[in-house]
Amino acid sequence: MSVLAAIAVLAILIVVHELGHFTAARAQGIYANRFSIGFGPILWKYQGSQTEYALRAFPLGGFVGFPDDDPDSTIPPNDPNLLKNRPVLDRAIVISAGVIANLVFAYFLLVAQIGIAGTQDVHFQPGVLVPDVRSELSSAAARAGIKPGDIVLAVDGKELGASKESIKTLMEAIQSRPNQPIDLKVQRDGKVLPNPLVVTPDAGADGKAKIGVQLSPNVTIERRRVGNPIEVLTLSASEFQRITVLTLQGFGQLITNFGQVANQISGPVRIVDEGAKLARSDAFNLFTFGALISINLAIINILPLPALDGGHLAFLLIEGLRGKPLPTKIQDGVMQTGLMLLLGLGIFLIVRDTSQLESVQKLFR
């Protein structure tokens, strides 16, 4: 059920994004003849009075179609309600509406979570949690016997305190000691292991050592009910700002440090897997999960890349500066190439993330 819940959240976010485009077009009287969730072959469709609604085979997004270039359309090409015949500002509103819808929806998801479940008070505990360990033999952590769920309490005899700085301290100790043994004091299942685990970090290509683990703060979380509506809105705004800033910082790291961060890019399968884990731990976490993914979708879509909303806005900016649009062949060529690359990346991420699922890896052990 947790997997289905995570899939449902992703589907809702896609619908919200496309509804933003669709509503902005309809509100301005612009024709929209297709509303599709997914790409590729149609699995199900319903023909409304003006619009065809469809579910398609590849769940990597969706689109709102316009009759501007539809050869079967009976609308005169000079009709003022065709998208291409509208001023640049009208078209920009339609294109950017999906991003705006995702951001607004993310905020109200946080409002719903805090209003229903309350806010979370985080209390730091000593040490650093290891939620995941690479299982390959090449992982230094796996060779040392570190397991998911372990808590590292000390490194080389230095205690890791109960603060958010503990992760930084542990990371610095690991990264600065390539091919050198490090003693880790570890707590497992509530008990401190009698002997420290000795891990020898592998030297990375960038000169920083690594052991092949994920690290998280060791915290306990308590929920606090919030009865004041003003406080609910204020806390939701603060959490929205925090998530947005962290997301932007993540994209900044992807640009400045692509080699290290690229492996952390998640596709639909890994996103669903992580969402399912959150749902199993606390169903209310799906609200935060939905807000996080919705903000990510908004930021990704506003990037000036082909086939994304930002790519269309870039073409509109060029049109505004030139006083006329780029030739249709150039725009179509760029967008079609971008779409193929986007679908190719999506399929690659699905295959890669599926192969890394623990349930799939067990089949081959």
Task: Kindly report which listed range (11-20, 46-55, 69-78, 104-113) carries the lowest average pLDDT score.
Answer: 69-78
pLDDT mean over 67-72: 80
pLDDT at 345 over 80: no
Alpha-carbon dihedral 333, 268, 240, 285, rounded to 10 degrees: 170
List 18, 52, 274, 358, catalytic entry? 18
- Give pLDDT, residue 338: 67
pLDDT mean over 126-155: 83
pLDDT tens by residue, 198-236: 888 887 766 678 888 888 888 887 778 887 899 999 999
Q: Considering only CA atoms, which of 130, 167, 160 is closest in space to residue 147? A: 130
Helix, coil or strand: residue 28: coil
Task: Kindly report which listed range (147-161, 285-299, 304-318, 327-341) carries the lowest average pLDDT score.
Answer: 327-341
- Give pLDDT, residue 44: 94
pLDDT at 135 over 80: no
18 is catalytic: yes
pLDDT at 180 over 50: yes
Q: Which residue has the higher pLDDT, 352 or 222?
A: 222
pLDDT tens by residue, 282-309: 667 788 888 888 888 898 888 888 878 8
Helix, coil or strand: residue 238: helix
pLDDT mean over 263-274: 51
Give the single-character DSSP code of 244: H
pLDDT at 172 over 60: yes
pLDDT at 49 over 80: yes
Rounded Cα gap, residues 85 and 76, in angstroms:
11
Give the single-character DSSP code of 204: P
pLDDT at 173 over 80: yes
Domains of the chain, earliest start first? 2-115+291-363 (no CATH), 120-224 (2.30.42.10)
Structure tokens at 1: 């059920």
Q: Contacts for 80-89 with beta carbons within 8 Å, 24 or more apart?
A: 81/29, 81/30, 81/31, 82/30, 82/31, 83/25, 83/30, 83/31, 86/28, 86/30, 88/316, 88/319, 88/320
pLDDT tens by residue, 72-124: 788 888 899 999 899 999 999 999 999 999 999 999 999 998 988 888 777 88
Mean pLDDT of the chain: 80
pLDDT at 276 over 60: no
pLDDT band at 26 (very low <50, low <70, confident <90, very high): very high
Contact by Cβ (8 Å): 129, 234: no
Q: Which residue has the higher pLDDT, 357 or 364?
A: 357
pLDDT mean over 256-267: 50
Q: What percentage of the chain reaches a pLDDT higher than 70?
A: 81
pLDDT at 351 over 60: no
pLDDT at 272 over 60: no
